[in-house]
């Protein structure tokens, strides 16, 4: 059922200003990532802010479950989505989809290595000029795909995406 939602979102939000963007020209970057714990997401958020300095980063984190002890922790990213926030078919809510679509960003970087359906749907809903991510069966949601071995982590994926985004030559 989730694949149908992905295709409906793609069809609804298919009109956007698609173009290649060099990382140095990008002003706003939306990053979708996931982790096992809130602490991992917070640590990774700090890593991203150091790795991509002087950019307006919008970081969306996905957790399967938020532990009771984690509920009082500070969140160092912009939006947290948990499995509890998903609907019956494990899709993001219309509110979350609309929030991602309303973000005016130059680059979307999906750091999901496991093809989590919620992150794929949010990627499809984004109006980013260029959408980057890892090779998966849902290749149609990305404009720029990196193929890395599954034993690697999302830091390797991020390194590869940043390398190629820096290498893009954009004519004005």
Lookup result for tokens 């954009």 = 170
Give the pLDDT score at 171: 64
Q: Is residue 2 very low, low, confident or very high in pLDDT (cuts 50, 70, 90)?
A: low
Give the integer Cα–Cα distance in Å for 34 and 86: 14
Q: What is the pLDDT of residue 114?
A: 84
pLDDT tens digits, one per residue of 36-91: 999 999 999 999 999 999 999 999 999 988 776 667 678 889 999 998 889 888 88
Q: Give the per-residue pLDDT at 8.
A: 75
Q: Decide: pTM greater than 0.85.
A: yes
Neighbour-count burial for 83-116, b at 16+ CB within 10 Å, e otherwise: eebbeeeebbeeebbebbbebebbbbbbbbbeeb
What is the pLDDT at residue 110?
95
Domain 2-167 listed as CATH 1.10.1740: no
Give Cβ neighbours of residue 36 (< 8 Å, ≥ 6 apart).
63, 64
**HEC assignment per residue over the chain:** CHHHHHHHHHHHCCCCCCCCCCCCCCCEEEEEEEECCHHHHHHHHHHHHHHCCCCEEEEEEEECCCCHHHCCCCCCCCEEEEHHHCCCCCCCCHHHHHHHHHCCCCEEEECCCCCCHHHHHHHHHCCCCEEEEECCCCHHHCCEEECCCCCCCHHHHHHHHHHHHHHCCCCC
Distance between CA atoms of 167 and 18, rounded to whole angstroms? 18
Q: What percent of the chain has pLDDT over 70?
A: 91
Name the phi and psi angles at 134, rounded to 5.
-85, 145
């Amino acid at each position: 059922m989730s694949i149908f939602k992905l295709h409906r979102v793609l069809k609804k939000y298919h009109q956007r200003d698609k173009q290649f963007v060099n990382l140095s020209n990008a002003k706003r970057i939306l990053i979708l990532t996931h982790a096992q714990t809130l602490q991992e997401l917070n640590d990774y958020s700090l890593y991203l802010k150091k790795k991509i300095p002087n950019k307006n980063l919008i970081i969306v984190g996905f957790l399967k479950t938020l532990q009771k002890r984690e509920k009082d922790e500070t969140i160092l990213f912009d939006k947290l989505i948990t499995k509890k926030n998903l609907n019956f078919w494990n899709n993001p809510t219309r509110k979350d989809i609309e929030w991602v679509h309303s973000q005016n960003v130059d680059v979307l970087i999906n750091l999901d290595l496991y093809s989590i359906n919620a992150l794929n749907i949010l990627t499809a809903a984004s109006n980013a000029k260029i959408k980057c991510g890892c090779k998966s069966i849902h290749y149609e949601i990305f404009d720029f795909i990196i193929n890395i071995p599954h034993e690697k982590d999302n830091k390797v994926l991020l390194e590869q995406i940043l390398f190629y985004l820096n290498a893009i030559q954009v004519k004005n």
